[in-house]
């Protein structure tokens, strides 16, 4: 895939009607936004378009209305918050690409901003229905995709509309594509990938693709025990994906053939059961991964693994991290995840974090500012690392 895509700076937007797909899928409670982070993140692109005198038409989905007009998922709350942040009125359309939206779009003046209703109010959105794509396109002259979190979906507002309009990236998508694209296509070496999280099967293809690229692959978190089991160790009550043992063996063999160093944890924190509730106080012991007692389960990497993983991360020039090293939601079991986050924060390598929970962990633990790039898209960043073509990016014009 070509990562060299045109951005808003590569196209003339002055006086043009610009349809900009944002990620305004913000959390709400009782009709109020509980975090406006995603709206704030979209501001640079929107402000650029305003400053250049574009007529700005914003759109996004929110939640999963599945084609139904659910009032609690109206983007009106986003328009209100965005108006405050921009210090100017954001015109709210009463529909997505219907009569009201079209009339309001036609009346826009340079520098005006309007917001369409929740794109998923229309059934055709998630089916990438050409009728909806055409309706959306009919309101604008240019399409800007600034929503990385939905870039792995071929929907009308994320990709389909680009069949009918010149399409470029906004600043958020540009940043994701240039940093992650460079890491995969032309990384500064040593290139180390750290994978964790709960399920091997979720990350099968990532492991396979990363083995083609990296110098060292580190596997921690719940995934590690399936690999350890595949090596013939008993892992007690730890999470094991018994259908994936052969796959793990294949990946270990592939690493050997490719000369990739594959690191598994040498020790682990174990307890007799999973904490319930997840942040309940828990008594753990640290044991070597070759000697996990039959009645125990591994819930975090141990101190020796922490030191080894952190050392490998610090020696790297490029690090990609996806998936926590343990049940980081519990303070006693967060040590491995903290050690890795700390190593990335201390490193002067290009450090990239993808995956919803790993990104949340970096933020909760206070390391976010010291990471080069925290991807805004969990699923999208995973597909990116898998080497898949993302429809919302593939549809943009090449430079």
Catalytic residues: 38, 199, 356, 379
> Using CB under 5 A, which of 221, 357, 362, 391 touches Mg ion?
357
Q: State the binding partner of 236 from ligand ADP, Mg ion, none, CB within 5 to 8 A by kind.
A: none
What are the CA-CA distances from residue 112 to residues 53, 138, 367 (Å)?
8, 18, 37
CA trace torsion 79, 82, 84, 87 (10° rounding): -110
Q: Is 241 in the site for ligand ADP (CB under 6 A)?
A: no
Which residue number has the CB closest to ligand ADP? 197
Q: Which of 65, 355, 377, 392 binds ligand ADP (CB under 6 A)?
A: 355
Token output for 122: 């229309």
Per-residue interface string for the shown chain with ligand ADP, residues 295-334, x marking contact by CB under 6 A: ---xx----------------------xxx-xx-x-----
Instruction: Name the DSSP letter for residue 307.
Output: H
| Shortest Cβ 98–ligand ADP spacing (Å) | 36
* Secondary structure (3-state) at 352: strand
- Indicate the DSSP class of residue 398: B
Q: What angle is formed at CA 163 by the lines to CA 158 and CA 166, rounded to 5 degrees?
A: 85
- Cβ closest to ligand ADP, residue 221 vs residue 392: 221
Site for Mg ion in 316-335 (CB under 5 A): none
| Residue 239 interacting partner from ligand ADP, Mg ion, none (CB closer than 5 to 8 Å by kind) | ligand ADP
Minimum distance between the CB of residue 197 and ligand ADP, rounded to whole angstroms?
A: 2
Instruction: Report the nearest approach of ligand ADP to the CB of residue 357 (Å).
Output: 3
| CA count, 13 A, side-chain hemisphere, 193 | 27
Ordered DSSP codes for 60-87: ---S--TTS--GGG-THHHHHHHHHHHT
* C-beta of residue 312 within 8 angstroms of C-beta of residue 349: no
195 near 220, Cβ under 8 Å?
A: yes
CB of 251 to ligand ADP, least distance (A): 17
| 356 lies in the site for Mg ion, by CB under 5 A | yes
Binding site for ligand ADP (CB under 6 A): 196-198, 202, 221-222, 239, 298-299, 322-324, 326-327, 329, 355-358, 378
Binding site for Mg ion (CB under 5 A): 356-357
């Amino acid at each position: 895939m070509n990562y060299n895509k045109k951005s808003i700076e590569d196209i003339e937007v002055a006086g043009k009607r610009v349809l900009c797909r944002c990620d305004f899928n913000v959390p709400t409670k009782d009709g109020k936004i509980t975090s406006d982070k995603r709206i704030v993140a979209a501001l640079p692109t929107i402000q650029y378009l305003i400053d250049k005198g574009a007529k700005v038409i914003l759109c996004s989905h929110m939640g999963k209305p599945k084609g139904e007009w659910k009032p609690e998922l109206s983007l009106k709350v986003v328009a209100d918050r965005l108006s405050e942040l921009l210090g100017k009125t954001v015109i709210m359309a009463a529909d997505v690409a219907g009569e009201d939206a079209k009339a309001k779009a036609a009346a826009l003046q340079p520098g005006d901003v309007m917001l369409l209703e929740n794109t998923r109010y229309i059934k055709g959105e998630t089916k990438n229905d050409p009728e909806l794509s055409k309706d959306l396109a009919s309101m604008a002259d240019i399409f800007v995709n600034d929503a990385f979190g939905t870039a792995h979906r071929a929907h009308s507002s994320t990709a389909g509309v680009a069949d009918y309009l010149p399409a470029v990236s906004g600043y958020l998508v540009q940043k994701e594509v240039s940093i992650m694209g460079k890491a995969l296509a032309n990384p500064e070496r040593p290139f180390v990938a750290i994978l964790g999280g709960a399920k091997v099967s979720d990350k099968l293809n990532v492991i396979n693709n990363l083995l083609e690229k990296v110098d060292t692959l580190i596997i921690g978190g719940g995934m590690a025990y399936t690999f350890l089991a595949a090596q013939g160790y008993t892992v007690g009550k730890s999470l094991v994906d018994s259908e994936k043992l052969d796959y793990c063996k294949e990946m270990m063999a592939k690493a050997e053939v490719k000369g990739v160093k594959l690191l598994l944890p040498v020790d682990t924190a174990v307890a007799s059961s999973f904490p319930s509730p997840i942040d309940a106080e828990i008594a753990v012991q640290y044991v070597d991964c070759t000697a996990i007692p039959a009645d125990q389960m591994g819930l975090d990497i141990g101190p020796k693994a922490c030191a080894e993983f952190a050392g490998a991360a610090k020696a790297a020039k490029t690090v990609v991290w996806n998936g926590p090293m343990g049940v980081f939601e519990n303070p006693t079991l967060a040590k491995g995840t903290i050690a890795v986050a700390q190593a990335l924060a201390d490193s002067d390598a290009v450090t990239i974090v993808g995956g919803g929970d790993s990104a949340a962990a970096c933020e909760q633990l206070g390391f976010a500012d010291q990471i080069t790039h925290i991807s805004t898209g969990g699923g999208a960043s995973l597909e990116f690392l898998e080497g898949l073509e993302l429809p919302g990016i593939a549809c943009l014009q090449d430079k």
